[in-house]
Amino acid sequence: MKLDRRHTLKALAGLALCPLCAGIARADEGVHWGYDGDHGPAHWGELDKASNVCGAGAQQSPIDIGPTIRAELPELKIDWSKGVEKIVNNGHTIQVNVKPGSTLELGDQTYQLLQFHFHRPSEHTVAGKHFPMEVHFVHKNDAGLAVVGVLMETGDKNPLFAEVIDEMPREAGKSAALDGDLHPEDLLPKARSYYRYTGSLTTPPCSETVEWLLMTEPVEVASSDVDAFAKLYAMNARPVQKPHRRFVLRSG
């Protein structure tokens, strides 16, 4: 029984890492989810058994970052390579799949970067405040998932985000090639301090398998690029969830 449960959790986590794949699988099962109405976040826990945790879980994400605890957290050793595979409009967001070889070291754990994708407005809030957008860098190893989140505010143009906006497919289910020299690190702030807490995926099945690493400093992007994203996804952010006595640690 324990072995079967472990395999099931890994399978669910694997689907969640690829929203396009998950969307196809769930379409076959007649399950549909979105960000409003009868299929919105308030009803995700009713979708199917696998998504029950969306409504009943005690470690759900995103959350509001309020009071934090300063801690000696390990340095984020980010070693992301240049190069991406393709950009996908999966019907829920714009996702950029990266080539193999990019890693994140966190203490004694090493994770592989799989993809990054965007939410509008930000899913996490800071002292109750939303940012215009948020990008999630999704990593995986045998132990679980680690997601580096970066809050996005309007200001100077970010060349990488501008390229994503220029090339993103306007139709759900479509993909396109991107410049192979693009560097994911261009969407990271210079400061590497971060908030850390244990949480979940922010989309169904909301599996509570995620180590969240939210950068404390935002990155700037052009307001015109945010507006262009909004033409496709005006709102694709899950509301903040109850902390349920979880502590948020802050590095530095």
β-strand partners of 113: 139
Return d(Cα 235, Cα 121) in angstroms, integer.
6
| Residues forming the active site | 92
Pair 17, 138: CB distance under 8 Å: yes
Dihedral-angle region of residue 9 (phi above 0 means left; psi in -120 to 50 means alpha; beta otherwise)? alpha
d(CA 136, CA 143): 19
25: amino acid identity, one letter: A
H helices of 93-236, where? 159-167, 223-232
Q: How many CB atoms lie within 10 A of CB 52?
A: 15
